[in-house]
Amino acid sequence: MRHRALQVRPNDIGVRYQIAAIALHDGKLDAARRELEALVKEVPAFTAAHVTLATVYYRLKRKEDGDRERSIVQKLNAETQKKQQQGVNVK
């Protein structure tokens, strides 16, 4: 299934994220970590990938890395909220 999805939509961020999420679910933490690290490097504003990567880090007992990812998520959420508020004020 994994290979088929990538054949149909090669390098699709959503497909790659889902594959990483499945790896996490299956307990393949290192595979999930590698894919998620690549995703957040390519798409730094991909909040869900940062959330999932934090989860992976915590499960790997890498608290400092997990905390860093949580901080990034908080920053991204604050930026999103600020943009939404600005959009409301403009109207």
Report the alpha-carbon distance of residue 44 to residue 38 in Å, rounded. Answer: 10
Span 18-68, pLDDT tens digits: 999 999 999 999 999 999 999 999 999 999 999 999 999 999 999 999 999
8 against 38, higher pLDDT: 38
Alpha-carbon span 13 to 89, nearest angstrom: 32
| Domain chopping of the chain, boundaries | 2-90
Q: In this structure, what token pair is assigned to residue 21?
A: 């999420």
Q: What's the confidence (pLDDT) of residue 8?
A: 59
Question: pTM for the complete prediction?
Answer: 0.84
Architecture of the 2-90 domain: Alpha Horseshoe (1.25)
